Amino acid sequence: MTYNSLALKITLMGSFYFCMAAFIVLTLVFNSVVFSNGGKTSIYVRKMEKTVDMPLESDVFRVPSGYNAPQQVHITQGDHVGKAVIVSWVTEDEPGSSTVLYWSENSKHKKKAEGQFTTYKFYNYTSGFIHHCTIGNLEHNTKYYYVVGVGHNMRKFWFTTPPKVGPDVPYTFGLIGDLGQTFDSNSTLTHYEQNPKKGQTVLFVGDLSYADNYPYHDNGRWDTWARFVERSAAYQPWIWTAGNHEIDFAPEIGETTPFKPYTHRYHVPYRASKSTAPLWYSIKRASAYIIVLSSYSAYGKYTPQNQWLEQELPKVNRRETPWLIVLMHSPWYNSYNYHYMEGETMRVMYEPWFVRYKVDVVFAGHVHAYERSERVSNIAYNIINGMCTPVKDQSAPVYITIGDGGNIEGLATSMSEPQPAYSAYREASFGHAIFDIKNRTHAHYSWHRNHDGFAVEADSMWFFNRFWHPVDESPTSQ
C-alpha cells in the first residue's frame, strides 16, 4: 500500500466514523421530532385526559363579596398610542357608579374619569350592568392604581402604561388563544402568569368564553369567563380579536345580531385607528404596530374592513414601529385536519398586501393546537398560470397558530401527512407563547406547553425584523 492510498484509507475511515458520530448525535438531538419536508412534527407524548370545564363553584369563578361589588374587571388599550386605558367591569345588583378613580404611583393625586354602562338581553338571559370607562392622558411607562365600585364596594387594581412609542423600545407580549374555562384553560393562564419572561400585554387571538357551546348560548358563561381571567386582565391589557365563538348568531332562539354579547362586554379603541367597527382596528404599543382583523366580518373588495386595511397598511411607519404584527382568528397556513382552508378566502384577498408591506408575524387561533410556519407566500396564482404552491419568501410573515389555550372542545391531534413544506413546527399540546421584542432588529419568540415547567421553551426562534434586518432566520440558512 502506497503512502497515498494509506492516507486515503485513513481519511475514508475517519469520514465514516465522523459520519456515524454525527448521525448518533443528530439522532439524540432530534429524537423528539419527526422530519418531513424539512418541518418538524413533535411526537411529544402527553397525557390525553379529557378536557373538562372547571365546576361553577370553583374559586376562579368566585363572585366578589359585598353589595354590587364590581366583577369581571378587565382593561385594554384605550387609544392608538398607549396613553389611555379602557376599564370595564360588571355590577349585578344595580347600575351603581361608572366612575374610575385613578392615580399614578408617583403623584398620589387621585383623578376621576366617568364612564357609561350598558346592558343587553340574549334569549332568556339579561346581563348585569356592563361599565366601560376610558382613562386618558396617562404618562408613559408609569404604574397606576385604579378603583371601581365607587359608592358601594370599591375594588382596587393597578397596571403599568407602556413606554412611549419608538423604534427600539423593548416590550414583551403574551399570546393566548381559544382559552375557554376548563382546567386546561386555568393551566394555560397560570403558565402565562408564571412565565419568567413576564408578558406585559396579552394579544388574544379570539374565542374567549365558549358560552355558545352551552344550552341556549348560556351567557352566564360569559360572566364566569370574565371572572376567571380577571386575575390577569384587570392588571395588564388584553388586546382582543373576535373569533367564531364571539358571533353568537342563533336564529333558532331569535338571536340574529352577530357579536352581541362580545361587543357589549369588550370595548376596543377602534375609532382611534379610523375603523368603523370594533372587530377590526389597530394600535401602536412600544415598538409594535398591531393590526387586528376579523375573520368573520366581510373582507372582500369594497367592504368596510377591506377599505380600512387598504388605507391602514401604508400608514405603518416602520421607522417608528418596526414590528408589524397581525392578529386574526382563522389561520391561513394550517396543516391540521381541523378548520382546514377556512382562512383561505381571506388569504387570497390580503396575502399580497402582507408581503408588500412586509408583515413580521401573523398570530391566529381557531385550531386547537400549535403550529409555526416558514416564511412563505402563495401569491403568484392568477387562475391561468397554475402557480399555486407556497414558496419561501423573505418578505412574507411567519404564521403562528396559537389556538391551544385549552377550551372544552379539546386538542386538535390529527394532522395532514406528510407535513407540508410550509410548516416548520407543529405539536398538539396546550400552551401559550411569548413575543419578546428586544430592539428594532431582533425579537425572541418562544412557545411554552402546559406540561412543562414555567420557564421551558418547547419551540423558539429569533425573529429578524423584516424592515430593518430582513435576512433569513431559518436554521437551514445559517
Measured from the Cβ of residue 348, the count of other Cβ atoms closer than 10 Å reads 14
**Comparison of 244 and 429: residue with beta carbon closer to Fe ion:** 244
When asked if residue 390 is in the footprint of Fe ion (CB under 5 A), the reply is no
**Comparison of 328 and 396: residue with beta carbon closer to Fe ion:** 328
- Cβ 426 to Fe ion, closest distance in Å? 17
Considering only the stretches 85-93, 130-138, 362-370, 443-451, report the one whose residues sit in contact with Fe ion under the rule CB under 5 A: 362-370
Site residues for Fe ion, window 274-303 (CB under 5 A)?
none
91, 244, 275, 305: which one binds Fe ion (CB under 5 A): 244
Considering only the stretches 25-33, 206-214, 218-226, 294-302, report the one whose residues sit in contact with Fe ion under the rule CB under 5 A: 206-214
Helix axes 304-312, 344-356, angle to 10 degrees: 20
When asked if residue 243 is in the footprint of Fe ion (CB under 5 A), the reply is yes
- Cβ 329 to Fe ion, closest distance in Å? 6
Contacts for 88 with CB less than 8 Å, ≥ 6 apart: 72, 73, 74, 75, 76, 130, 131, 132, 133, 265, 266, 267
Contacts for 275 with CB less than 8 Å, ≥ 6 apart: 281, 282, 308
Considering only the stretches 216-224, 236-244, 259-267, 467-475, report the one whose residues sit in contact with Fe ion under the rule CB under 5 A: 236-244
Interatomic CA distance for residues 446 and 460, integer angstroms: 4
131, 366, 372, 440: which one binds Fe ion (CB under 5 A): 366
Considering only the stretches 4-12, 68-76, 187-195, 241-249, report the one whose residues sit in contact with Fe ion under the rule CB under 5 A: 241-249
**Comparison of 232 and 244: residue with beta carbon closer to Fe ion:** 244
Minimal CB distance residue for Fe ion: 366
**Comparison of 229 and 328: residue with beta carbon closer to Fe ion:** 328
Instruction: Find out whether 83 and 137 touch, Cβ atoms under 8 Å.
Output: yes
Q: Active-site residues: which are they?
A: 339
- Cβ 335 to Fe ion, closest distance in Å? 17
- Cβ 401 to Fe ion, closest distance in Å? 11
When asked if residue 368 is in the footprint of Fe ion (CB under 5 A), the reply is no
When asked if residue 207 is in the footprint of Fe ion (CB under 5 A), the reply is yes
- Cβ 222 to Fe ion, closest distance in Å? 16
When asked if residue 246 is in the footprint of Fe ion (CB under 5 A), the reply is no
Residues that bind Fe ion (CB under 5 A): 207, 243-244, 366
